[in-house]
Chains A and B, each alone.
Chain A
Amino acid sequence: MDILYFAWLRERIGVPRERVETGAETVRDLVAELSARDEGYAAAFADLSALRVALDQELSEFDAPLAGVREVAFFPPMTGG
């Protein structure tokens, strides 16, 4: 599964994307796995209310299942326009 990061989350984690092998069932489980890697990830994902998630390029929720998902993107609230 490909994981993408944008804006300050990308800067904090240090890479724009990475490929992970995971058995996580939901986005929340995946976040827990990533956060367990090191302090950098844990700090970046400390406040999920400050983050949004997209599954295969559609906005989604942290409780959403990951079955069949190929691309997960994490980012702060959007500021377009």
Chain B
Amino acid sequence: MEIRVQAEAFDAGAELNRFSAGAEGAGGVVSFTGVVRDLPGGGLRAMEIEHYPGMTEKALTDFAAQAMERWALSDVLVIHRFGALAPGAQIMMVATAAPHRRAAFEAADYLMDYLKSRAPFWKKEITAAGADWVAAKAQDEADLDRW
């Protein structure tokens, strides 16, 4: 299990290869990479991501431990960035390795739902017109009920 919260960019492909190579007993690896989405028509200068140092690492570790407990997983990787990110930049990635695919898919989905609504990150969109905090979506909250 590896959890990283960092300002630096990461190479999702290299991380995935490294993770896959180290996942003992895995028969499959699922990964999700989140990227900074531009606004419709463009115009996003940056996505600023704030977090709660200390609690963030703790929360992500808890979610990963819960996933390991609930599904038969070989390993879990979570990387999440903070700071000012340009449109198209990679924000975060989750990878799950498991002996069988269903566990890997479900655990990755579960981790993403918890990352969205229960990990202490806040996004702010910076445009020429100013800055706006991104509001949480009711759908993201409802998604947690799936688990």
Listed in ascending order, the chain A residues whose CB lies under 8 Å from chain B are 4, 6-8, 10, 54, 57-59, 73, 75-81
Contacts and interface: CB of A to CB of B under 8 A. Distances in A.
Contacts of A59: 118
B92 A81 contact: yes
A56 B85 CA distance: 29
B115 A79 contact: no
Interface of B: 34, 50, 52, 54-55, 58, 80, 91-92, 112, 115-124, 133-136, 141
16 contacts: A7-B124, A10-B50, A54-B52, A54-B120, A57-B58, A58-B55, A58-B58, A59-B118, A73-B52, A76-B136, A77-B135, A79-B134, A79-B135, A79-B136, A81-B115, A81-B119
Contacts of B58: 57-58
